[in-house]
Amino acid sequence: MYEIWREFRRRRLRPWLGRWQSWRFVTYAGIRVHYKKHLDGGGTGFGQDFIPFLRGRGMPKQARAFEWCAGPAFIGFSMLGHGLCETLCLADINPQAVAACRRTIEENALGARVSLYRSNSLNDIPPSERWDLVVSNPPHFADAYAGELRTHDPDWSIHRGFFSKIGAFLKPNGVVVLQENNAGSTAETFREMIEQAGLSIVFVHGCAPQRTPDHRFYYIGIMRRGDTPPAWAASGAN
């Protein structure tokens, strides 16, 4: 009975209640990002650590970036505003998140620089898309928070599906940077599935060797096997 209630709450009740929440906004480097409270999976908090992290590694402006599992795209719009990418692509499965992104694009007149898709992971992205950089704060737990769309990835199936498809969307020497949670995983959790997809881990930053009792966020840099890491993504970069 509890499982039925939890599934009803996730699929029906929470989206319905979300329609009645008021719109909020936060501004990043001149871009006003629209959202509703239930859509924020950490992008307004630890997700913003992407900006100093990528700058600290000396990453130059990327021609085209993609935010996977974007939600309201706090990370992607912040990167665009701070000059870390020239154009941006966004996708999320949640129609309310897509609506939030659309509001941000329209209010900030970003239609010429931002593409938006409603997509189940990468399944509904046009095959013509190509990205220099992919970033994401994806669901962080396979064994906790069951039924929570923003947090739970059962059997890491969302990650596996992403790894299996992302190589086709990367430009030559394109880089994927995922922000993960040491309370739910370590970099080694994903290594086998990454390598089975024809990809390689090129750097890991801030990851403890074992899962931690508290929430500590770390980064994994991933590329197609055989591609040459740009200087900023080389494992020895700061």
CB 101, CB 70: distance < 8 Å: yes
What pLDDT sits at residue 15?
53
Q: List all residues 6 or more positions away from 184 whose beta carbon is below 8 Å from its beta carbon.
A: 140, 141, 142, 143, 144, 211
Can you give the pLDDT at residue 31?
98
Q: Take residue 96 and report the two structure tokens written for it.
A: 């309310």
DSSP conformation class of 93: S
Q: Which domains does the chain have, with CATH numbers?
A: 2-233 (3.40.50.150)
Torsion of CA 11, 129, 160, 142, to 10 degrees: -40
Q: What is the pLDDT of residue 19?
A: 61
Strand 85-92, strand 62-67: pairing: parallel
Task: Please state, in angstroms and rounded to a whole number, the distance separating the CA atoms of residues 8 and 3.
Answer: 9
- Written as tens digits, the pLDDT of the chain (238 aa) is 544 444 445 545 555 455 667 999 999 999 999 999 999 989 999 999 999 999 999 999 999 999 999 999 999 999 999 999 999 999 999 999 999 999 999 999 999 999 999 999 999 999 999 999 999 999 998 888 787 877 888 999 999 999 999 999 999 999 999 999 999 999 999 999 999 999 999 999 999 999 999 999 999 999 999 999 999 999 766 4
Asked whether the beta carbons of 130 and 60 are under 8 A apart, the reply is: no
Beta strand extents in 140-183 (DSSP E only): 170-181
Looking at residue 14, its pLDDT comes to 56
Half-sphere exposure of residue 138, counting CA atoms within 13 Å on the CB side? 30
